Amino acid sequence: MPTDTARTRTRFRLLVAAATAVTAAAILVPSSATAAGNGDGPKGPSVKKTEPVLVARATLSADHLEAGPASGAALTTTVNGRTGPFAGQVIPGFSAMIDNGDGTFWAQPDNGFGAKGNSADFLLRNYLVRPAWQSAEGGSGEIQVERFISYNDADRVLDFPIANEATPERLLTGADFDIESVVRAKDGSFWVGEEFGPFLLHFGADGTLLEKPYPMPGGAKSPQNPYLEVGETPRVRASRGFEALAASVNGRYLYPVVEGSYADDTDLRRREILEFDTRAGAYTGRTWNYQTDQDANVVGDAFAVRNGVLLLVERDDFEGDQAVTKRIYEVNLTRSDSEGKLEKTLVVDALRIANPGLLGAGDGYGTGDPFSLPVQSFETVVQLKNGDLLIANDNNYPGNDARIAGTPDDTEIDVIDLDRTRVQPSDVTVVAHRGASGYRPEHTLAAYETAITECADFIEPDVVSTKDGVLVARHENEISGTTDVATRPAFADRKATKQIDGVSVTGWFTEDFTLAELKTLRAVERLPQIRPENTTFNGLYQVPTLDEVLDLARHSVSCDGLPVGVYPETKHPSYFDSIGLSLEEPLVAELSRNGLDEADAPVIIQSFEVGNLRELDGVTDVALAQLLNSSGRPYDFTVAGDARTYADLATPAGLAEITTYADGVGVEKSLLIPRTATGTLGAPTTLIADAHAVGLEVHGWTFRRENAFLPAEFRSSADPAGIGDLAGELRVFLDAGLDGFFTDNPDLGAATAG
């Protein structure tokens, strides 16, 4: 709906400052921000935020061996330079830990080598470890293993065969159970969550199994369940059992979390939290639904910080620079959204943690400042007595090499201080153009997450529709240049030629695919000649839905301590209207479902057309932006026979008309500062001043670091793919009064905007 001048200019930066005072933030302030070229600093109020800081770290060599029989005999293929068997018991990382409060921790690995078939010689243990923390005050950073207990069935509780069936000790192995999580009862016994059942296991303080395994309620089983009957369909997916387990503060209740979606669940992002009463020895029947950021994400660990309030580790299966989600969220079991999913609040994004002491620097990828834990299996979170968080990894020995390619990851334990600080938000809006598309394939959650860690204020999804009416993020509805669809024989017959906004286009189109079909495709780099480094990420990431993009943004916090905004562009709205797949109604519905359809929501909807913005102005209160190109006209003008062009809309009269339905303009940068005949920047036009005069905010597009996109004076060479001086170009536009900008390189943009 029409908005007044008071909502513009500073609105996009400060409208939710009060709300963020109680929001747990997880992103850093840029460490080397440069003030904008005009020398004016931010003028708005400061904002409180939480800044995770690495304060202690310790590691255990990936190749560390403990006493016991050889392990890994089934690992006959060399991985990261290692081949089994190994002359002792390996420690393949820690899947769960317990703070003993005296400087020691119980640290529990999982079933060994990842499967029943290769882990029969891996003994299930719980190790007592003492880290010699590396901190700002010093310390070796080594983990000392003091002793261990071996989980066993010496009392013959189990009624199915185990690997060490005939031995008196009946030591349990990774062929018997896949232990993943652990809590300690007040009597010193251990409750363990495992995945083959999935079962809850109860061990005495010496590691002896006390009771028969507690199966899941309703008879849910995994494919590895020893009681699975012939022909029975497993409901729990393989290796998707109780990866996470928390205990209530008084220890009575356990909260096991199903790591992945159920095989019969239509909602692939739903993860179920159950409740088990240790006094009654039975499940209570109470359950809760947690929604992951995307389908493939898993819940890696859980910890109760107070009764009814849990910390959950959510992670993907990527590692190193491919990682997208390594996060800790807080949930309150009494608070659910309108869809029945637990509301979640970001506590730590483990891909960006302040490391002013440079702890672990030089130990491989992600160990500088900022620090990250980009391992595949981020599987441990513990709140320590002083409120700090301990996080740790399972290294899937010898399979993971997130830190140093070709070298197995060490087991590492990191301690994070959640430091409260106050920051001064910038007055300049940094919009991540299709995400951080200068570093990751555009319109992927990887590009959006990278943009958030690089201090973008807004992430920008271009919105198109699938055949079944689901909005997804793609630059165009034609997807041969941004996905691997052309390599998929199953979809060869979908290739078509269509008229899109009056232009003949040949390829594959989103509107010819259901969402399920589209999700089988993987993104590729759109500009491989200009950005060859991005091609290393080809084939990894799915096409995200708009809902997934909105969820990522609303569960994130910007470097300024404010909620990350979303700046969706409706692509070809007249075309989609013509084929019965209107974009406006489902867009508003998605915003409403995510609690973002309000005037103060950090959302700006943009379009190159006018009619759909006018329509949106009548059905939503979020901010709207009219896009202005340096040539042509809005396509809905062409359809209606309206002779006006973008040049007409960029006049004072045109801008005044835009104020009747929009809050700002997104302007192709040559309309703001045209280039001369030699390719350098010329004199600024009056467009910024004209827009400001009628109360419109001005965001310019698109600013990129490669020479191919830069004015001549800011190029580094004649190589189109060479990296030039993006900061230099941006300073000229900021000096001209630009309020914000779209950039493929939000790290450089944020540092320049200050």
Tell me how far apart the alpha carbons of residues 416 and 370 are, in angstroms, rounded to a whole number. 13
Closest CA to 562 of 1, 5, 11, 7: 11
Query: Could you say which DSSP state residue 375 is in?
Result: -
Per DSSP, 122 falls in state: P
H-helix or E-strand spanning residue 592 = helix 584-593
User: What distance separates the 2 farthest-apart alpha carbons in the chain?
Assistant: 91
Given the residues 64, 202, 443, 475, the one annotated as active site:
475
Instruction: Report the C-alpha gap between 571 and 579 in whole angstroms.
Output: 14
Q: Say if CB 289 and CB 271 are below 8 A apart.
A: yes
Q: How far apart are CA 65 and CA 450, in angstroms?
A: 37
- Residues 433, 443, 555, 699: which is the catalytic one? 433
Three-class SS state of 446:
helix
CA dist 605 → 566, 570, 618, 648 (Å):
8, 8, 13, 21
How far does Cα 249 stand from its chain's mean position? 29
Q: Counting beta carbons within 10 angstroms of the beta carbon of residue 22, is it exposed (0 to 12), middle (13 to 18) or buried (19 or more)? A: exposed
Tokens, residue 609: 């057309």
> H or E element: which one contains 359?
none
DSSP string, 520-544: TS-B--S-TTT-GGGGGGTTS-PPP
Q: Are 122 and 40 in contact (CB under 8 A)?
A: no
- Provide Rg for the chain, Cα atoms: 27
Q: How many helices (H) and strands (E) does the chain have?
A: 13, 35
Question: Would you call 64 a catalytic residue per the annotation?
Answer: no
**Catalytic status, residue 433:** yes
Q: Name 148's bridge partners.
A: 127
Q: What are phi and psi of 206, to 5 degrees?
A: -90, 0
Q: Please name the residue that has the structure tokens 């709207």.
A: 624
Burial code (b: 16+ CB inside 10 Å, e: under 16) for 404-430 equals eeebbbbbbbbbbbbeeeebbbbbbbb
Residues annotated as catalytic are 433, 475
